[in-house]
Amino acid sequence: MQIHETAFIVSTYRSYHENISKDIYAKLWNNSKTEALIPSIMESVSKKEAILHSLRNRFFHESLQSFFDNNKGGTLINFGAGFSMYQFMLNDNVSTIEIDKKDIIEYKKSKINLWTKEGKLPKRNIQYLSLDFNLDSEETMINSLKKLITSQPTFIILEGVLFFLNQKITNKLFRVFKKIQNTNDIVGSVSYLPEIENTKVYKRLLNYFDSNNDTNDSFNHQTIPNSYYRNLDGYSLKKHIDEYNLSKIYTPELDIKDKNQILNENMYLLERTD
């Protein structure tokens, strides 16, 4: 399993539950290679994965809509954007900066340009930036982003990425966020709590990655306590909800009895303070 494949997988999950994720464009990325992987993940890790990822997308979909509606535009900056399609659901006064590794960015840019020309996607103002969070310096990230941000305020998303990074790189990213954002700007972040490490479902996830790992694409499996977000320099925690509680709002019929039986990710909205 290579990291870019995980971006195809979560996009396909969203396409399976459009009514929950609200991502009506995710299906454009569907392909037979990814679809062939999904049954074995659902079987060996958890059957709820597709719905949970769609709930996560729904949370950010709603948060972005209300932020940019209230501010009448601005810039969405998506760190580790993968095949996210939020910008096409937002008003066209919102600009987007998509950041990911070079191969994903080049592929995404070419497909988005093609689909926009073909009329499959509405026209949006999108800029693309290739970065490797592990390799690129704080200064490189800050300088390239400062040049690209032309419309304020900003909403940064870091979704489905922290699991793959270590703490040092995570700290570096939050220092970058602090440098490029202004008061009242938002960061939306997703991570697992350390408690999940004791659950069977998380062990099955790690086992899946271990047994399907590609030696050229090693990654971490980071978990982060709530206290990390509460104590972040330059930010105050505005909202925290997990997928278990999102499910009670958007998919009560799922009736998930025990949060320890799902890969329960936590969503955080952080506001830049003075």
Ligand X SMILES: C[S@@+](CC[C@H](N)C(=O)[O-])C[C@H]1O[C@@H](n2cnc3c(N)ncnc32)[C@H](O)[C@@H]1O
Tell me how far apart the alpha carbons of residues 46 and 29 are, in angstroms, rounded to a whole number: 23
Binding positions for ligand X, 120-149, rule CB under 6 A: 131-134
Q: How far is CA 21 from the centre of its chain?
A: 13
Residue 265 engages ligand X in binding (rule: CB under 6 A) = no
Residue 180 engages ligand X in binding (rule: CB under 6 A) = no
Residue 41 engages ligand X in binding (rule: CB under 6 A) = no
Label residue 257 exposed, middle or buried (CB < 10 Å: 0-12, 13-18, 19+).
Answer: exposed
Tell me how far apart the alpha carbons of residues 112 and 49 are, in angstroms, rounded to a whole number: 26
Residue 6 engages ligand X in binding (rule: CB under 6 A) = yes
Cβ proximity of 60 and 157 under 8 Å:
yes
**Number of residues forming the site for ligand X (CB under 6 A):** 21
Q: In the bound complex, what is the minimum distance in angstroms from residue 254's beta carbon to ligand X?
A: 20
Q: Which two tokens stand for residue 234?
A: 């330059």
Residue 188 engages ligand X in binding (rule: CB under 6 A) = no
Closer of 11 and 34 to ligand X (Cβ): 11
Binding positions for ligand X, 66-95, rule CB under 6 A: 80-82, 84
Q: Which two tokens stand for residue 215?
A: 């030696």
**Only segment of 38-46, 139-147, 160-168, 256-264 that touches ligand X (CB under 6 A):** 160-168
Residue 100 engages ligand X in binding (rule: CB under 6 A) = yes
Q: In the bound complex, what is the minimum distance in angstroms from residue 201's beta carbon to ligand X?
A: 17
Closer of 72 and 168 to ligand X (Cβ): 168
Closer of 132 and 210 to ligand X (Cβ): 132
Buried b (16+ CB within 10 A) or exposed e, 88-104: bbbeeebbbbbbbbeeb
Tell me how far apart the alpha carbons of residues 45 and 206 are, in angstroms, rounded to a whole number: 9
Looking at the chain, how many residues does it have? 274
Residue 3 engages ligand X in binding (rule: CB under 6 A) = yes
Q: Which two tokens stand for residue 128?
A: 């693309």
Binding residue (CB under 6 A) for ligand X from 74, 153, 160, 188: 160
Tell me how far apart the alpha carbons of residues 128 and 63 are, in angstroms, rounded to a whole number: 22
Task: Tell me which residue of 160, 27, 148, 22 sits closest to 96, measured CA to CA.
Answer: 148
Q: Give strand pairing partners of 199.
A: none
Closer of 134 and 184 to ligand X (Cβ): 134
Closer of 3 and 184 to ligand X (Cβ): 3
Q: In the bound complex, what is the minimum distance in angstroms from residue 11's beta carbon to ligand X?
A: 6
Q: What is the CA radius of gyration of the chain?
A: 18
Closer of 55 and 131 to ligand X (Cβ): 131
Closer of 34 and 251 to ligand X (Cβ): 34
Which residues form the interface with ligand X (CB under 6 A)?
3-4, 6-7, 10-11, 80-82, 84, 100-101, 104, 131-134, 159-161, 164
